[in-house]
Structure 1
Amino acid sequence: MARFGALPDAVHDGDVVTHFGNPLIEQRQLAAGQALSPLADRALVEITGEDRLTWLDSITSQFVAQLAPGDSTELLVLDPQGRVEHAAGVLEDGTTVWLIADAADAEKLAAWLQRMVFRSRVTVTLRADALLVGFFAGGAAEARIAASTPNGVPLIWRDPWTHTQPGGHQYAAAEGHPAAEFSWSIAVVDDAARLKGPFAGALAAEALRIAAWRPRWSHEVDERSIPHESDWIRSAVHMSKGCYRGQETVAKVHNLGHPPRRLTALHLDGTEVVLPARGDAVFAGDDEVGQITSAALHYEDGPIALAILSRRAPVGDLIVHTEGTRIAAAQQVIVPADAGATAGVPRLTRLSRRPEGVDPRNAG
């Protein structure tokens, strides 16, 4: 039986609960802090040992060496060229550091971490059957959660996406960033049968994530992704910590260059009763400029999507091609084309621009 198979009225797609009858109502309840969302598409990685924090700090993008019990953050694992390989939420409880990853990535993440242990006093364990439940903080749903406390600290991860983290940087220039209202939290629980509704399925949780411009490994990451493209530096990268794999690329793009692609939000024409799928092409006129990464039907905004576009894609309206249908899309820029190049390196005067009549051999 699926981990959340006993929940009443649950509609499953494999192990994932997609909805409980009405995804739009579930969105309202989830956003209001009233509903709990079973997360079978997430998995848990447990890291124990006295070197766990300094070791994790040395191999990932985030500064985690001084996390205190109950602290939450987020990290990325990058390849040597700065491309995103893995992503995880981080929760420290004083004895163990817990990583919350997308289920499709968790096993590979745990295997990579195990290969990196060497002589460090660290043990990595994949807890693929852990029960994870999402909710928005501050409401009735949080009061109904009885989170696991294996070491005396409730295992509740608070998503840092709500604001730019220390050491991070935000490229989005929009006033009133939608992340400010995204008080998303994930709790580890011991018994699914003890959960009390109302509940919200994955369709509701995904719609609220997309509306908050929140990137996710299973959707916004491909073999080319670097963290700048999806504004992930704001929550998962510490720009002034010590060396780690991929840091050179992160610093170079941020200080001197521009990311080759950029994440954008799309408000889709709702005339066609169809949502695009991940990978569907996005066009500006006759030119393909990117692909859909996530799409959902939002309870207030209607059909919405995130798309990764070429940096040179125009900022105006676009067209999404899906299942033989063309959907008009109004674009709201998340990462601007001029993101990066923050160092402000002064330009040197070229010799060709010296005043007329001055012989450089006689300068000075």
Structure 2
Amino acid sequence: MTVVTIEDLEPGSPDAGVPAHFGDPMREQRLLETGVGLVDRSNRAVIAVPGVERASWLHTLTTQHLSGLSAGEGSELLVLSPNGHIEQHALIAEDGTTAWLDTEPGAGAGLLRYLEMMRFFTQVEPRDASAEMAVLSLVGPGAAELFPDLAEPRVGAVPGAKFAAGSVPAQATSRYAVRAFEGGLARRVPLGVDLLVPRSDAPAVTERLGVARAGLWAYEAIRVARRLPRLGWETDHRTLPAEAGFLAAGVHLDKGCYRGQETVARVHHLGRPPRRLVLLHLDGVATDHPPAQGSAVELDGRAVGFVGTAVRHHELGMIALAVVKRNVADDARLSVGESAAAIDPE
């Protein structure tokens, strides 16, 4: 089997350490859209949070409603700056003794540092578990068939501006079913099923599953087409949750105080975040290479946003997630480098 790693193609990429593809990225994309493929995402950082007060503690520190988190449940959360800008994003899975947080490659140290800083006298013991546990992802409609006992992921609708207090259920806004699997956990998520398994057992687990492999390039193409944002790709140092598509799955808008809550509430109730996440179609006439992360999105020669993740999709062609100014019209004639770009209005 041909294995091409991320670092073979993108030296210095934050995603180094996992396969980019196995010889045919387009075939792998089709597999993830129509069947099921196994994607190695073991470069993700993992933080373990054991301790009897972990649920209530994480509830107070993050944007998510986690006070009632119990065994067999998962969700998503954000850590914000005092001004409401996104600093961390993680998925969480609870096994009854430990809350497991997995986040982007390279982001684990910052998340752990924040958690340790906020321990005080709370009965929790956060630690870096990246060397212990690895994330593998089963992606595609066939993933649910392999884990029929895991309920479909549920993500609540974002309430309208000036909603009545108490109208948002006192529970996590995204709820992902979790169960024990191969010494670790299986968590149902929007793209399939994430497996959090002992790192030393990951090769054996992969072999036992017997599922065709797909690389991270295929995973990213599916993610972009689904408009799912990624910390560090669709965010910059001043991104607010409402600007980059994190609000529904990661933020409970009617819970107690947490760092940055005032900004989140003000922006939501005014109903006008400064920027928004969009899917761009790029013409690919002048170049067949997707633009780099951070490339300027321009309107009449003026920068109005930036590209997050750009990919070549097997059906849609060259597409990208981008964050642009709120007042950029859906029919605006945009450009990214040498490529003309158009917003997909959903």
TM-score by length of 1: 0.77
Q: Of the two, which has the highest radius of gyration? A: 1
Give how far 1:159 is off. Answer: 9.5
1:11 matched to 2:13? no
| Alignment match, 1:26 | 28
| Alignment match, 2:308 | 293
Give how far 1:43 is off. Answer: 1.6
CA contact (8 A) 1:42 1:103 kept: yes
For 1:98-177, list aligned pairs within 5 A.
98-129=100-131, 130-136=133-139, 139=142, 143=146, 164-165=155-156, 168-169=158-159
Give how far 1:238 is off. Answer: 0.3
Q: Which whole-Å CA distance do the structure 2 matches of 1:218 and 1:286 have between them?
A: 25
Give how far 1:333 is off. Answer: 4.0
| Alignment match, 2:171 | none
- SS at structure 2 position matched to 1:208: helix
Structure 1 residues 252-303: Cα deviation after superposition (integer angstroms, max 9, x where no partner): 1100251111111101113331211111111112222111111111111111
Q: Which whole-Å CA distance do the structure 1 matches of 2:127 and 2:35 have between them?
A: 32
Gaps of 5+ in 1: 1-7, 145-153, 172-180, 335-364
**AA at the equivalent of 1:216:** R
- SS at structure 1 position matched to 2:155: coil
Q: Which whole-Å CA distance do the structure 1 matches of 2:144 and 2:45 have between them?
A: 21
- SS at structure 2 position matched to 1:220: coil
For 1:193-208, list aligned pairs within 5 A.
193-194=203-204, 195-196=206-207, 197-208=211-222
Gaps of 5+ in 2: 8-15, 162-188
Q: Which whole-Å CA distance do the structure 2 matches of 1:239 and 1:261 have between them?
A: 19
For 1:1-364, list aligned pairs within 5 A.
8-12=1-5, 13=7, 14-129=16-131, 130-136=133-139, 139=142, 143=146, 164-165=155-156, 168-169=158-159, 182-190=190-198, 191-194=201-204, 195-196=206-207, 197-271=211-285, 272-322=287-337, 326-333=338-345
- SS at structure 2 position matched to 1:108: helix
Q: Which whole-Å CA distance do the structure 2 matches of 1:64 and 1:241 have between them?
A: 10
Structure 1 residues 223-249: Cα deviation after superposition (integer angstroms, max 9, x where no partner): 010000023111100011111111111
Q: Which whole-Å CA distance do the structure 1 matches of 2:77 and 2:160 have between them?
A: 16
**AA at the equivalent of 2:281:** H
Structure 1 residues 20-75: Cα deviation after superposition (integer angstroms, max 9, x where no partner): 11111111112234210000331211000000000000010000111221111100
Task: Report the number of matched residues.
Answer: 302
**AA at the equivalent of 1:10:** V
| Alignment match, 1:5 | none
Give how far 1:143 is off. Answer: 3.2
Structure 1 residues 173-220: Cα deviation after superposition (integer angstroms, max 9, x where no partner): xxxxxxxx9433311123232213411111000011111110110211
Moved more, 308-317 or 64-73: 308-317
Give how far 1:164 is off. Answer: 3.5
Q: Which whole-Å CA distance do the structure 2 matches of 1:73 and 1:267 have between them?
A: 31
Q: Which whole-Å CA distance do the structure 1 matches of 2:98 and 2:145 have between them?
A: 23
Give how far 1:142 is off. Answer: 6.6
TM-score by length of 2: 0.81
CA contact (8 A) 1:169 1:234 kept: no
